[in-house]
């Protein structure tokens, strides 16, 4: 962690563990380092980055006229898997915000991330994957995504497997009430309870430009991902199931005669989220022709898992990495 702080201070990039997914971090105040984040990721310049802070008390340095409900969210749910989009202070560079007049802020709860943030100050960090691909949830996955694009100035910190496994909930706090831009760990109920106000309804995919996670085909592996119910899986021909990887909750009943060679059977929606990206990644390394996923039912993080599965399915099956 000390080496990571030194690396960041010298303008290098760090693959940084957080509780959601690994980030590719640069000192928020270093324009050159932040520019390299965009090129290493292959990310369009108008996509804003999340600025990671060590503590909620730093919110007023970045956000201007932050609504009271947003302050309540920050104080109640930070550190944690939550990003707040708030009106930005004039001093916040356009490079970080994609030219928008708002900035995304988050205090992660991973102890390694907090230690590094305390040592070197605010860090701009998108997920540490190439643009459009599956977010990394381990240090090895960061290396797989980015090693050929990083150089001797940079390093990857190993903080173990991410506890949440999917990206933070993003809440737009620029209006009269909070609005979820990207589903995540926190359910609407928790957000309403913590903010003290009712959520505005989401405006749907495409209504919010420049939230890259809102593109239909995002978080996509190369292997084809197909979504279906357990009943439909049971009706598939044996030839198709034998070459596939089945991903379904252990509570889902799949006919016994359907015998996939490989199956991942999370017992809870939390476990589904935690293992989802690693499963998609291993499928890309294997000879399976298809991942057949039965989405988890219910609210809370299951909503976010269904969202990521839909996007993985929309963008999957392409042989060309972006």
- Judged by the rule CB under 5 A, the positions of this chain that interact with Mg ion are 127
* x-marked contacts with ligand TXA along 187-226 as a string, rule CB under 6 A: -----------------------xxxx-------------
Cα torsion angle, 12, 17, 21, 27, sign: negative
Task: Pick out residues in 51-110 that bind ligand TXA (CB under 6 A).
Answer: 83, 85, 97, 100, 102-104, 106, 108
Q: Of the candidates 161, 279, 286, which has an alpha carbon nearest to the alpha carbon of residue 294?
A: 279
Partner whose footprint covers residue 302, from ligand TXA, Mg ion, none (CB < 5 to 8 Å by kind): none
Q: What is the closest distance, in whole angstroms, from the C-beta atom of residue 54 to ligand TXA in the complex?
A: 14
CA distances 85 to 23, 105, 170, 286, 289, Å, are 18, 6, 7, 38, 39
Q: What is the closest distance, in whole angstroms, from the C-beta atom of residue 302 to ligand TXA in the complex?
A: 18
Tell me how far apart the alpha carbons of residues 190 and 77 are, in angstroms, rounded to a whole number: 9
Q: Does 18 bind ligand TXA (CB under 6 A)?
A: yes
Our CB check for ligand TXA shows the closer of 236 and 305 to be 305
Q: How far apart are the first and last CA of the chain?
A: 31
Q: What is the closest distance, in whole angstroms, from the C-beta atom of residue 143 to Mg ion in the complex?
A: 17
Partner whose footprint covers residue 225, from ligand TXA, Mg ion, none (CB < 5 to 8 Å by kind): none
Cβ-based neighbours of 148, under 8 Å, separated by 6 or more: none
Q: Which two tokens stand for residue 295?
A: 């989405």
* x-marked contacts with ligand TXA along 34-53 as a string, rule CB under 6 A: -------------xxxx---
**For 80, how many CA atoms within 13 A lie in the half-sphere containing its CB?**
16
Q: Does 145 bind ligand TXA (CB under 6 A)?
A: no
Task: Pick out residues in 106-135 that bind ligand TXA (CB under 6 A).
Answer: 106, 108, 125-127
The residue number whose beta carbon is nearest to Mg ion equals 127
Tell me how far apart the alpha carbons of residues 137 and 249 are, in angstroms, rounded to a whole number: 20
Tell me how far apart the alpha carbons of residues 173 and 314 are, in angstroms, rounded to a whole number: 29
What is the contact surface with ligand TXA in residues (CB under 6 A)?
18, 20-21, 23, 47-50, 83, 85, 97, 100, 102-104, 106, 108, 125-127, 167-168, 170, 181, 210-213
């Amino acid at each position: 962690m000390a080496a990571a702080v030194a690396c960041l201070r010298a303008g290098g990039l760090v693959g940084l563990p957080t509780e959601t997914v690994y980030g590719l971090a640069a000192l928020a105040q270093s324009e050159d380092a932040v520019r390299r984040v965009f090129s290493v990721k292959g990310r369009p310049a108008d996509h804003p980055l999340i600025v990671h802070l060590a503590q909620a008390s730093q919110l007023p340095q970045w956000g201007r006229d932050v609504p009271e409900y947003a302050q309540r969210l920050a104080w109640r749910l930070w550190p944690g898997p939550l990003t707040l989009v708030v009106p930005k202070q004039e001093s916040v560079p356009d490079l970080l915000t994609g030219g928008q007049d708002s900035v995304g802020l988050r205090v992660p709860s991973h102890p390694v991330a907090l230690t590094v943030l305390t040592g070197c100050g605010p860090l701009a960090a998108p997920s540490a994957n190439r643009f459009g691909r599956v977010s990394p949830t381990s240090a090895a996955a960061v290396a797989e995504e980015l090693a050929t694009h990083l150089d001797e100035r940079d390093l990857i910190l190993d903080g173990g497997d991410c506890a949440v496994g999917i990206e933070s909930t993003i809440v737009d706090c620029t209006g009269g009430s909070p609005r979820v831009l990207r589903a995540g760990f926190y359910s609407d109920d928790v957000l309403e309870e913590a903010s003290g106000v009712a959520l505005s309804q989401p405006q749907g995919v495409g209504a919010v430009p420049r939230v890259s996670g809102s593109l239909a085909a995002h978080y996509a592996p190369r292997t084809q991902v197909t979504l279906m119910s357990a009943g439909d899986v049971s009706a598939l021909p044996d030839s198709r199931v034998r070459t596939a990887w089945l991903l379904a909750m252990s509570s889902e009943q799949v006919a016994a005669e359907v015998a996939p060679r490989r199956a991942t059977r999370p017992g809870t929606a939390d476990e589904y989220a935690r293992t989802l990206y690693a499963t998609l990644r291993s499928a890309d390394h294997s000879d399976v022709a298809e991942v057949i996923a039965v989405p988890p039912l219910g609210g809370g993080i299951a909503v976010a898992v269904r969202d990521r599965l839909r996007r993985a399915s929309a963008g999957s099956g392409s042989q060309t990495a972006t």
